[in-house]
Amino acid sequence: MTARFKDLALDANDHQALADWWCSAIGYVRHASAAERPPTDPIPIADPAGKGPLIWLNPVTEPKTVKNRMHLDVVGDRAELLALGATMVREEDDDIRWDILADPEGNEFCVFAPE
C-alpha cells in the first residue's frame, strides 16, 4: 500500500466561522484538540458519532476563485442548508439527481435528498 486515506481539508479565509458553519450544517463538533490550538491554527471538526472523516478547516489568505476539483457530498435538506447560509449553484435537473450548493466561502458541495 502506497498511501491510505486520513482526513479531509478545506481552505477558508475565516476558518473559525466556516468551521462553525460546517458543524451546524452536518452535525459535526469541534474536535477536542481544537481547544488546545491557537486561533490561527487549522481547526479540526469531527463527527460526534465517530463515523465520518475528520475535516480540517485551514486558514488561507487567498479567496476561492475557481470550481472545486474535489468536494463534499452530503445527504440533507436543501432548504435547511440554504437557510444556514449556503447558496444555490445548480439545482437538480434532467442531467443531475442532486443539488450543487456552496458554503458561505464559495466551496461547492453536492446535496442528495434523504431516501
Could you list the residue range(s) of the whole structural domain that residue 109 is in? 64-115
- CATH code for the domain of 36: 3.30.720.120
pTM of the model: 0.92
SS3 85: coil
Query: Does 3 share its domain with 32?
Result: yes
Do residues 3 and 42 share a domain? Answer: yes
Residue 29 above 90 pLDDT?
A: yes
The confidence score (pLDDT) of residue 14 equals 97
111 and 90 assigned to the same domain:
yes
Asked if residues 103 and 109 have their Cβ atoms less than 8 Å apart, the reply is yes
* Span 24-29, average pLDDT: 98
Q: How many domains are contained in the chain?
A: 2
Model pLDDT, residue 115? 84
Any bridge partners for residue 109, and if so which?
72, 101
Q: What are 53-111's pLDDT values in tens digits?
A: 999 999 999 989 998 889 999 999 999 999 999 999 999 999 999 999 999 999 999 99
Q: Are residue 74 and residue 43 in the same domain, yes or no?
A: no
pLDDT band at 35 (very low <50, low <70, confident <90, very high): confident
pLDDT at 32 over 90: no
For residue 56, report the phi and psi dihedrals to the nearest 5 degrees.
Answer: -100, 130
Cβ proximity of 56 and 7 under 8 Å: yes
Q: Which residue has the cell 485551514?
A: 58
106 and 92: one domain?
yes
| Secondary structure, 3-state, 41-53 | CCEEEECCCCCCC
Residue 1 has pLDDT above 90, yes or no: no
Quick one: 58 and 114 in the same domain? no
